[in-house]
Amino acid sequence: MPGLIGKKIGMTSVFGADGKNIPCTVIEAGPCVVTQIRTEEKDGYAAVQLAYDEKKEKHTSGGLMGHFKKANTTPKRKIVEFSNDFTKDLVLGDTITVTDVFHDQMEWVDVTGISKGKGFQGVVKRHGFAGVGGATHGQHNRLRAPGSMGASSWPSRVFKGKRLAGRMGGDQVKILNLRIVKVIPENNLILVKGSIPGAKGSYVIVEE
């Protein structure tokens, strides 16, 4: 499906036609530049590579500089491929804006982002364990511990995938079927109902 690369600006709320207050995430979607066009004949699949957000030349590798110069554009920070379902024929260097992809405020979109990193967390925060419960009968400091692992002399190890403490967050998360509440084309902004993963200023991918 066609889409755009964007940046999460933050959250706000707007009033709907029925007077209800709708919580929204503000996304700066584009403008994105076409840096490569994949074809069935050459690459085996059809897709469009879009680039977003300015980057300094001194922070760009020589290979990427040549790639961007071929598209007659400046270096960009984020590059993503989308299926070539855009309504117009694209060529290298074309600029894709919000109005080229999202036409009305009732559209439904999928948004992909990187969730906030939480660091190393225990089982209560990471998996919602209840903990031991009571603090009596010699429990001492076991209130938030995972408890028994369940294995004995066989297999004498902990099975892979068991819910234990560990690194939490920093994962790619895709939220499906979010409704566009408002499109502000002059500022390349879209307001999406609900929350999406990631911190303010992080990159997101918005797909129809």
The DSSP secondary structure of 104-172, one letter per residue, reads STT-EEEEEEEPPP-EEE-HHHHH--------TTTTTT-TT-------BTTB-SPPTT---SEEE---E
The CA distances from residue 61 to 55, 57, 68, in Å, are 11, 8, 11
pTM of the model: 0.83
* Rounded Cα distance, 190 and 26, in Å: 6
Going by pLDDT thresholds of 50, 70 and 90, the confidence category of residue 116 is: very high
**pLDDT on residue 53:** 87
**pLDDT on residue 4:** 92
At residue 60, does pLDDT exceed 70?
A: yes
**pLDDT on residue 206:** 92
Residue 71 amino acid letter: A
Output b/e per residue, 112-129; b: 16+ Cβ within 10 A. Answer: bbbbeeeeeebbeebeeb
**pLDDT on residue 87:** 62
What average pLDDT does range 171-179 have in this prediction? 94
What average pLDDT does range 19-41 have in this prediction? 90
At residue 101, does pLDDT exceed 90?
A: no
The full length of the chain comes to 208
CA–centroid distance for 74 within its chain: 24
Going by pLDDT thresholds of 50, 70 and 90, the confidence category of residue 114 is: very high
At residue 127, does pLDDT exceed 80?
A: yes
Going by pLDDT thresholds of 50, 70 and 90, the confidence category of residue 128 is: very high
Going by pLDDT thresholds of 50, 70 and 90, the confidence category of residue 141 is: confident
Going by pLDDT thresholds of 50, 70 and 90, the confidence category of residue 105 is: low
> Higher confidence at residue 174 or residue 140?
174
Domains of the chain, each with CATH number or no CATH: 3-118+171-207 (2.40.30.10), 120-168 (no CATH)
At residue 169, does pLDDT exceed 90?
A: yes
> Higher confidence at residue 161 or residue 150?
161
What average pLDDT does range 94-115 have in this prediction? 86
Containing H/E element for 182?
strand 172-184
* Rounded Cα distance, 75 and 68, in Å: 6
φ and ψ at residue 107, rounded to 5 degrees: -70, 155
